[in-house]
């Protein structure tokens, strides 16, 4: 009989929770949630991205992304504008404050990596395996 500890899904679940907990404690100083953090990282540095494309990149639906964008805009980190080519498309861009914050946040990832106790080779291997895993699941017929 399979036990909980034998389940890959459980290890992924616990790993995700623990990593997010590590980030969350460090992001409080910046008044950011983990979702806000990854959103800032997903926005291209010198160009805009549509909210729809940003949602796809982050695996977030509009119900999660819209309030997050409003909060990040209120904090002065992003600006939202309608596309010049198609007014139905809402795009987001990092502001100067958002770009500066992104630079400051580099230490957060470094701190979480250090807390993991992994070396660079282990982290790169895990990253590659997880990318392959996610890609394989995305390619499966729905």
pLDDT at residue 2 is higher than 90:
no
101 close to 40: Cβ distance less than 8 angstroms: yes
Say if residue 41 is in the same domain as residue 94.
Answer: yes
Say if residue 48 is in the same domain as residue 98.
Answer: yes
Write out pLDDT tens, residues 12-41.
999 999 999 999 999 999 999 999 999 999
Say if residue 57 is in the same domain as residue 82.
Answer: yes
The CA distances from residue 109 to 8, 41, 73, 79, in Å, are: 24, 11, 23, 24
What angle do the packed helices 51-58 and 62-74 form, to 10 degrees?
110
pLDDT at position 46 is: 85
Q: Which domain holds residue 116?
A: 8-25+105-142
Number of domains in the chain: 2
Give which of 102, 65, 97 is closest to 79, Cα–Cα.
Answer: 97
């Amino acid at each position: 009989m399979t036990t909980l500890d034998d389940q890959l899904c459980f290890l992924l679940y616990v790993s995700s929770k623990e990593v997010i907990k590590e980030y969350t404690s460090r992001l409080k100083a910046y008044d950011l949630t983990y979702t806000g953090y990854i959103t800032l990282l997903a926005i291209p540095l010198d160009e805009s991205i549509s909210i729809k494309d940003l949602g796809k990149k982050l695996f977030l639906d509009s119900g999660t992304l819209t309030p997050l964008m409003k909060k990040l805009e209120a904090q002065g980190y992003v600006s939202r504008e309608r596309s010049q080519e198609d007014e139905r498309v809402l795009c987001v861009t990092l502001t100067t404050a958002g770009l500066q914050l992104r630079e400051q946040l580099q230490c957060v990832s470094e701190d979480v990596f250090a807390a993991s106790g992994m070396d660079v080779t282990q982290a790169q291997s895990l990253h590659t395996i997880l990318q392959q895993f996610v890609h394989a699941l995305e390619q499966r017929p729905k």
